[in-house]
Structure 1
Amino acid sequence: FEKLGICTQLAEAAAGLGWKSPSNIQEQAIPHLLQGQDVIGLAQTGSGKTGAFSLPILQALMERPQEHFALILSPTRELAIQIAEQVEALGSGIGVKCAVLVGGIDMMAQAIALAKRPHILVGTPGRVVDHLSNTKGFNLKQLKHLVLDEADKLLDMDFEQEIDQILKVIPRDRRTQLFSATMTNKVQKLQRACLVRPVKVEVAAKYSTVETLRQQYVFIPAKYKDCYLAYVLNELSGSTFMIFTRTCESTRRIALMLRNLGFGAVPIHGHMSQPKRLGALNKFKAGERSILAATDVASRGLDIPSVDVVINYDNSKDYIHRVGRTARAGRSGRSVTIVTQYDVELFQKIEHLTGVKMEQFQAEREEVLLLLERVSDAQRLAAMQMKEADAGKKGKRKGEDGDDEGGAVG
Structure 2
Amino acid sequence: MSELSFQELGLPENLLQAVKGLGYENPSAIQASAIPAAMTGEDLIGLSQTGSGKTAAFALPVLARIDLADESPQALIVCPTRELANQVCEEVHDLAKFMPGFRALPVYGGAPIDRQLRALRKGVHVIVGTPGRLQDHLRRGTFDPKNIRTVVLDEADRMLDMGFREEMEELLSEMPDEHQTLFFSATMNKAVGGLIRKFGNNPRTIEIERKTLTVEAIEQVSYEVRNRSRVEVLSRILDMDEPRLAVVFCNTRRVVDEVTETLNARGYSADRLHGDISQDQRERTLARFRKGTVEVLVATDVAARGIDIDEIDLVANYDLPQDPEDYVHRIGRTGRAGRKGRAVTFVYGRDIYRLQNVERYTKQRIPRGRIPSLEEVGGKIADQLFESVREKLEAGEWKDYSEQIDRLLDQGHTGTDIASVLFNMLSEKSGREGQEIDEDRPGRRREREPRDRGGEMGGDRRERNVRGDRGERNERGPRRSRDDSGEAEQGMTRLFLNMGKALHLQPKDIAGLLYNEANLPPGSVGRIHMFPKHCLIEVRSDVVEDAIAVSKDAKLRGKPFRLDFDKNTGAPGGIDGGHGGKKPYRGQGGRR
The residue number in structure 2 matching 1:213 is 218
Distance 1:10 1:356, change over 3 A: same
- Following the alignment from structure 1 to structure 2, what is the Cα–Cα distance between the partners of residues 57 and 377? 51
Equivalent runs, 1:272-287 vs 2, <5 Å: 272-287=277-292
User: 2:236 touches 2:372 (CA, 8 Å); kept in 1?
Assistant: no
- Following the alignment from structure 1 to structure 2, what is the Cα–Cα distance between the partners of residues 75 and 28? 24
| Aligned partner letter, 1:378 | R
- Following the alignment from structure 2 to structure 1, what is the Cα–Cα distance between the partners of residues 145 and 472? 53
The residue number in structure 2 matching 1:361 is 369
| Aligned partner letter, 1:133 | R
Deviates most, 106-115 or 11-20: 11-20
User: 1:222 touches 1:341 (CA, 8 Å); kept in 2?
Assistant: no
Which of 435, 459, 466 is equivalent to 1:371? 435
Distance 1:331 1:393, change over 3 A: closer
SS at the partner of 1:163? helix
Deviates most, 211-220 or 14-23: 14-23
Equivalent runs, 1:263-278 vs 2, <5 Å: 263-278=268-283
User: 1:277 touches 1:403 (CA, 8 Å); kept in 2?
Assistant: no
The residue number in structure 2 matching 1:401 is 515
- Following the alignment from structure 2 to structure 1, what is the Cα–Cα distance between the partners of residues 289 and 502? 23
State the 1:394 CA deviation: 12
| Aligned partner letter, 1:104 | G
SS at the partner of 1:177? strand
Which of 77, 83, 86 is equivalent to 1:81? 86
Distance 1:24 1:331, change over 3 A: farther
Which of 174, 181, 204 is equivalent to 1:176? 181
- Following the alignment from structure 1 to structure 2, what is the Cα–Cα distance between the partners of residues 153 and 189? 14
Distance 1:357 1:86, change over 3 A: same
Distance 1:390 1:207, change over 3 A: farther
User: Can you list the C-alpha shifts for 1:198-238, whole angstroms capped at 9, x where unaligned?
Assistant: 12112245971112111111112333222211121122124
Between Structure 1 and Structure 2, how many residues are aligned? Answer: 403
Equivalent runs, 1:105-184 vs 2, <5 Å: 105-136=111-142, 138-184=143-189
User: Can you list the C-alpha shifts for 1:241-297, whole angstroms capped at 9, x where unaligned?
Assistant: 110000111111111100111111111111100111111111110011211111001
1:321 equivalenced with 2:385 (yes/no) = no
Distance 1:102 1:379, change over 3 A: farther
Identical amino acids, percent of aligned pairs: 37
User: 2:153 touches 2:184 (CA, 8 Å); kept in 1?
Assistant: yes
List alignment gaps of at least 5 residues for structure 2: 1-5, 378-432, 438-465, 474-478, 480-499, 519-523, 527-587
The residue number in structure 1 matching 2:387 is none
User: 2:229 touches 2:469 (CA, 8 Å); kept in 1?
Assistant: no
The residue number in structure 2 matching 1:59 is 64
Distance 1:347 1:92, change over 3 A: same
- Following the alignment from structure 1 to structure 2, what is the Cα–Cα distance between the partners of residues 124 and 35? 26
1:17 equivalenced with 2:22 (yes/no) = yes
SS at the partner of 1:93? coil
The residue number in structure 2 matching 1:342 is 350
- Following the alignment from structure 2 to structure 1, what is the Cα–Cα distance between the partners of residues 244 and 274? 22
- Following the alignment from structure 2 to structure 1, what is the Cα–Cα distance between the partners of residues 153 and 283? 23
- Following the alignment from structure 2 to structure 1, what is the Cα–Cα distance between the partners of residues 126 and 238? 42
| Aligned partner letter, 1:310 | V
User: 1:257 touches 1:379 (CA, 8 Å); kept in 2?
Assistant: no
User: 2:212 touches 2:364 (CA, 8 Å); kept in 1?
Assistant: no
| Aligned partner letter, 1:401 | Y
- Following the alignment from structure 1 to structure 2, what is the Cα–Cα distance between the partners of residues 168 and 322? 33
Which has the larger Rg?
A: 2
TM-score, normalised on structure 2?
A: 0.64
1:99 equivalenced with 2:108 (yes/no) = no
Equivalent runs, 1:376-387 vs 2, <5 Å: 376=468, 378=470, 380=472
- Following the alignment from structure 1 to structure 2, what is the Cα–Cα distance between the partners of residues 192 and 11? 34
- Following the alignment from structure 1 to structure 2, what is the Cα–Cα distance between the partners of residues 395 and 186? 41
User: 1:47 touches 1:329 (CA, 8 Å); kept in 2?
Assistant: no
State the 1:9 CA deviation: 1.1
The residue number in structure 1 matching 2:205 is 200
Higher relative contact order (CA 8 A, sep 6+): 1
The residue number in structure 2 matching 1:295 is 300
Deviates most, 302-311 or 156-165: 302-311
The residue number in structure 1 matching 2:504 is 391
SS at the partner of 2:249? strand
- Following the alignment from structure 1 to structure 2, what is the Cα–Cα distance between the partners of residues 191 and 379? 54
- Following the alignment from structure 1 to structure 2, what is the Cα–Cα distance between the partners of residues 35 and 212? 35
User: 1:218 touches 1:363 (CA, 8 Å); kept in 2?
Assistant: yes
User: 2:266 touches 2:470 (CA, 8 Å); kept in 1?
Assistant: yes
State the 1:107 CA deviation: 1.1
| Aligned partner letter, 2:357 | K
User: 1:254 touches 1:293 (CA, 8 Å); kept in 2?
Assistant: yes
- Following the alignment from structure 2 to structure 1, what is the Cα–Cα distance between the partners of residues 345 and 508? 38
| Aligned partner letter, 2:132 | G
Distance 1:395 1:272, change over 3 A: closer
- Following the alignment from structure 1 to structure 2, what is the Cα–Cα distance between the partners of residues 394 and 377? 15
| Aligned partner letter, 1:402 | N
The residue number in structure 2 matching 1:237 is 242
User: Can you list the C-alpha shifts for 1:373-393, whole angstroms capped at 9, x where unaligned?
Assistant: 998463758xx9xx9598147
The residue number in structure 1 matching 2:75 is 70
User: 1:70 touches 1:146 (CA, 8 Å); kept in 2?
Assistant: yes
- Following the alignment from structure 1 to structure 2, what is the Cα–Cα distance between the partners of residues 257 and 394? 11
User: 1:306 touches 1:325 (CA, 8 Å); kept in 2?
Assistant: no
Distance 1:251 1:377, change over 3 A: closer
State the 1:40 CA deviation: 0.9
TM-score, normalised on structure 1?
A: 0.91
List alignment gaps of at least 5 residues for structure 1: none
Which of 176, 187, 194 is equivalent to 1:189? 194
- Following the alignment from structure 2 to structure 1, what is the Cα–Cα distance between the partners of residues 503 and 209? 43
- Following the alignment from structure 1 to structure 2, what is the Cα–Cα distance between the partners of residues 51 and 379? 48
